[in-house]
Amino acid sequence: MNRPDQHVGAVIHQANFIAGNALEVPTLKVLAQDGSIYPNAALPEIDKDLALKIYDTMVFTRVLDERMVASQRQGRISFYMTCKGEEASIIGSAAALTDHDMIMAQYREHAALRYRGFTTANFMNQMFSNAKDLGKGRQMPIHYGSNELNYMTISSPLATQIPQATGYAYGQRLQGNQALTLCYFGEGAASEGDFHAGLNMAAVLKAPAIFYCRNNGYAISTSTDEQYAGDGIAPRGVGYGIETIRVDGNDCLAVLLATQEARKYALAHNKPVLIEAMSYRLGAHSTSDDPSGYRSKDEEELWAKIDGVQRFKLWLEQQGWWTEEQESERYQAYREEVLRELKVAEKIEPPSLQELVTDVYAEVPAHLSQQLEQLETHIAKYPSAYPSASKGAK
């Protein structure tokens, strides 16, 4: 036990403070912007199949984001958030996991869910809140979740999933089935108290969790200058006694390497790891946000030039695994698929009115049955005033 008077550091006799920026955290880079590998760079475990699965997910995510922003502008869905600029970071990290690992995300990580196998129809059903939505139409668009795919349902309150990931990983350790939890969050969310609670508890209680911070420069309009005074999120991990690494989030191979190594370490030692992925939120925060009010076009263009999707594509081409022809075919195919599934999903009826009161508890308690009954009687009296009556929900 480390007693306060028995710590391991040197003793000093002058009041010399440790500088707040004393810990210099280096950034892992593997892939250069021209698609070449840095000399002496370590490579992740990757083969053609994995590389193409990653890239396929990147293309799908770009297409989905583009189409759904347009759909929100047309008023077909109420809300949307893109992953634009962070695809390499999200997909590269998800690709380092096994399907048994739990993913607990914030909201800008639907590319990881796609990587796990969430179908285009699954995405559409959630966004259109229809009867086939796994979440029964209760949450805003982009709040996905899937038990089958080990992807915890998203909730809006920021950082709440961080201590939950610690608990989930602790449970996985006790079960001893060599699975862990990867927890995504933005650099803004890392200012919440739950970040502190979750990381400290994971370190102390030996939970095999990977905490994956997407540092994309902005929390809505708030730049990192207004979010923290230290050197980003990574040094905090060291402060909690957590193995920590910073990676170039636009470098898919660096992200994959860091996450693969983190996974091995976490499971071998029953300890958490913190990864801080540096990237840039190329899109608006959400469809309710206009970034021109707080950042310049020049800045956006600068980051668009070091886009992680483009970088990974150049590498694929240099491997001889991808061509321009395949590129345009794949984009075309996904554009058609997304549009087709969108049109199907928006015609599916909403969940039945009864679903309003199910799942509040495991069983529907008497008072909720009564409230539903009263509501049904009321709606029957004014059917034209309520969409559920006109859309044929029973």
Partner 1 sequence: MAEMNLLHAINNALDLAMADNERVLCFGEDVGHFGGVFRSTSGLQDKYGKDRCFNTPLTEQGIIGFANGLAAQGAVPIAEIQFADYIFPAFDQIVNETAKFRYRSGNEFDVGSLVIRTPYGGGIAGGLYHSQSPEAYFTGTPGIKVVVPRNPYQAKGLLMASIADDNPVLFFEPKRLYRAAIGEVPEEAYQIELGKAEVVSPGTDITLLGWGAQMEIIEKAAAMAAEQGISCEVIDLRTLAPWDVDTVAESVTKTGRLLISHEAPLTGGFAGEISATISDKCFLHLESPISRVCGLDTPYPLIQEKEYVADHLKIFEAIKASINF
Q: Does 205 bind partner 1 (CB under 8 A)?
A: yes
Residue 219 sits at the vertex; the CA angle it makes with 308 and 254, to the nearest 5 degrees, is: 25
Q: Does 194 bind partner 1 (CB under 8 A)?
A: yes
Q: Does 37 bind partner 1 (CB under 8 A)?
A: no
Q: Does 365 bind partner 1 (CB under 8 A)?
A: yes
Considering the candidates 281, 311, 330, 334, report the single residue annotated as catalytic.
Answer: 281
In sequence order, what are the beta bridge partners of 183?
104, 211
From the list 26-34, 152-160, 224-232, 307-315, the region that binds partner 1 by CB under 8 A is 152-160
Q: Does 367 bind partner 1 (CB under 8 A)?
A: yes
Nearest to residue 247, comparing CAs of 264, 229, 235, 234? Answer: 234
Q: Does 131 bind partner 1 (CB under 8 A)?
A: no
Among 168, 212, 280, 312, binds partner 1 (CB under 8 A): 168
Does the active-site annotation cover 285? yes
From the list 55-63, 297-305, 334-342, 355-363, the region that binds partner 1 by CB under 8 A is 355-363
Tell me the closest approach of the beta carbon of residue 386 to partner 1, in angstroms: 21
d(CA 173, CA 53) in angstroms, rounded, equals 29
Considering the candidates 269, 294, 340, 378, report the single residue annotated as catalytic.
Answer: 294
d(CA 68, CA 76) in angstroms, rounded, equals 9
Alpha-helical (H) ranges within the chain are 48-73, 87-94, 110-116, 120-127, 161-175, 193-205, 234-239, 252-269, 297-304, 308-319, 324-345, 366-381, 387-390
Q: Does 178 bind partner 1 (CB under 8 A)?
A: no
**Closer Cβ to partner 1, 44 or 237, answer by number:** 237
Considering the candidates 62, 236, 285, 311, report the single residue annotated as catalytic.
Answer: 285
Q: Does 313 bind partner 1 (CB under 8 A)?
A: no
Q: Does 93 bind partner 1 (CB under 8 A)?
A: no
Q: Does 358 bind partner 1 (CB under 8 A)?
A: yes
Taking a C-beta distance cutoff of 8 angstroms, is the pair 253, 283 a contact?
no
Does the active-site annotation cover 269? no
Q: Does 200 bind partner 1 (CB under 8 A)?
A: yes
DSSP3 helix / strand / coil % (the chain, rounded to 5)? 45, 10, 45
d(CA 116, CA 159) in angstroms, rounded, equals 22
3-state secondary structure 266-290: HHHHCCCEEEEEECCCCCCCCCCCC
Among 27, 155, 224, 326, binds partner 1 (CB under 8 A): 155
Q: Does 352 bind partner 1 (CB under 8 A)?
A: no
d(CA 308, CA 62) in angstroms, rounded, equals 12
Does the active-site annotation cover 110? no
- Given the rule CB under 8 A, which residues bind partner 1? 102, 104, 133-136, 138-139, 143, 145-147, 152-153, 155, 157, 160, 162-172, 174-175, 181, 193-194, 196-198, 200-201, 204-205, 358-363, 365-367
